[in-house]
Copies of this chain bind each other. A is one copy, B any other.
Amino acid sequence: MKLGVCAQVFYPLGRGPAAFAQAVAQAAELGFEAIELPCDARSPFIDLDDALAGGWTRIAELVRGAGLTISALSNHQEGQLLLGGSDTDAIFAGTAEAKTRYAHDRLVRTAELARRLEVDVVCGFTGCEDYARWFPWPIEDGYERMVPRFREVMRPLLDELAARGVRFAHECHPRQFAYNLETAQLALAAVDDHPALAFNFDPANLLLAGMDPVVFVAELGARIAHAHGKDGELVAHHAGRSGLLAHGAPHRRDRGFRFRVPGWGDLSWRRLISELQLAGFAGVIAVEHEDPTMSPREGLVQAVRHLAPLILREPAPGTRWW
């Protein structure tokens, strides 16, 4: 395993190559070994058109020059458009069909950029026709009804990615078709276990679904292509009031649940890393800092302080030597 970072935390540095260079330099200086790079239209660091037109060499050099690797490209914003769901107009305005087409195109191009950068994972979202259907009322089979559309949209996309040697690492998350272990398994079944469908394991999102993220690794470990170093906290003194399903802005002080940097939430990273290790995972855990209590820089410092000493770099032995 290696320790990486998601580039969003550096967005306050500004737009363009200079800001990007600064981001990469700070990542290296803070002790990260890899970086996950968002490629959606909102990204201040990567312009997909420009990159595919040749800019990719500069990206590669810049990252390599800082001693980092790119653990994954990501495109959550536009992935959200694939299967729709509400509130996506700020990402791309248009009909549902147009949104899907746009998202498909952007993700294929993200994958193409990944291929050129010799990165084999694109992390992202898929959206969800109707996420409210996780509760089986007024209709009982709401989730099953969404399977055909998931298959219809995702199979061609996965084929395109496979053709480029890239896997799509879906991140289970609220408002996605797959938001917990069982819906992840449903998604795999929907595309006949397509080899290009993998997962970006974000344990905080799974905590928010009320399940045990370690069980996700135990059952789907072989499909985990990338991981996020993000923690979650059921805020003990507020949870009785606002609950796990706290609505409203993430930095609202009295939420019953908030995302945290690793070590400051409820997750046992030792348990998580142990199970990843037993599952043979040797990839990158990229810190995603969405912790409302810490500045961007201080949150990263804390995350590295907690995670770096726990990263295991040698595989489990598999036999006893004693």
- A295 to B241 Cα, complex, angstroms: 29
Known: A211-B239, A243-B211, A245-B179. A320 touches B250 (CB 8 A): yes
B317 touches A271 (CB 8 A): no
- A175 to B142 Cα, complex, angstroms: 13
- A176 to B139 Cα, complex, angstroms: 14
Copy number in the complex reads 6
Chain B residues contacting A141 (CB-CB under 8 Å) are: 249
Known: A8-B321, A241-B211, A294-B316. A86 touches B250 (CB 8 A): no
Say yes or no: is A251 at the interface (Cβ < 8 Å to chain B): yes
Pick the residue among B137, B180, B321 that contacts A12 (CB under 8 A): B321
Q: How many residues of chain A have a CB within 8 Å of chain B?
A: 98
- A174 to B241 Cα, complex, angstroms: 16
Binary CB contact string for chain A from 174 to 203 against chain B (1 if under 8 A, 0 otherwise): 110001111100000000000000000000
- A181 to B247 Cα, complex, angstroms: 11
Chain B residues contacting A264 (CB-CB under 8 Å) are: 270, 274
Say yes or no: is A26 at the interface (Cβ < 8 Å to chain B): no
Binary CB contact string for chain A from 75 to 100 against chain B (1 if under 8 A, 0 otherwise): 00100100001111011000000000
Least CB distance from A205 to B in Å reads 10
Binary CB contact string for chain A from 292 to 315 against chain B (1 if under 8 A, 0 otherwise): 111111100010010001101111
A182 touches B86 (CB 8 A): no
Pick the residue among B218, B242, B317 that contacts A182 (CB under 8 A): B242
Say yes or no: is A214 at the interface (Cβ < 8 Å to chain B): yes
- A184 to B103 Cα, complex, angstroms: 37
Pick the residue among B8, B138, B277 that contacts A322 (CB under 8 A): B8
B210 touches A322 (CB 8 A): no
Select from chain B the residue with minimum beta-carbon distance to A181.
B241
Within 125-163 of A, Cβ neighbours of B (below 8 Å) are at: 128, 130-144
Least CB distance from A320 to B in Å reads 6
A292 touches B316 (CB 8 A): yes
Pick the residue among B134, B212, B293, B316 that contacts A293 (CB under 8 A): B316
Binary CB contact string for chain A from 209 to 226 against chain B (1 if under 8 A, 0 otherwise): 111101100110000000
Closest 3 pairs between A and B when the two form their complex, measured CB to CB? A210-B244, A211-B243, A212-B240
16 cross-chain CB contacts under 8 A: A80-B138, A88-B138, A132-B174, A138-B175, A140-B248, A143-B247, A182-B243, A182-B246, A182-B248, A183-B247, A209-B243, A212-B237, A219-B241, A251-B317, A251-B320, A292-B318
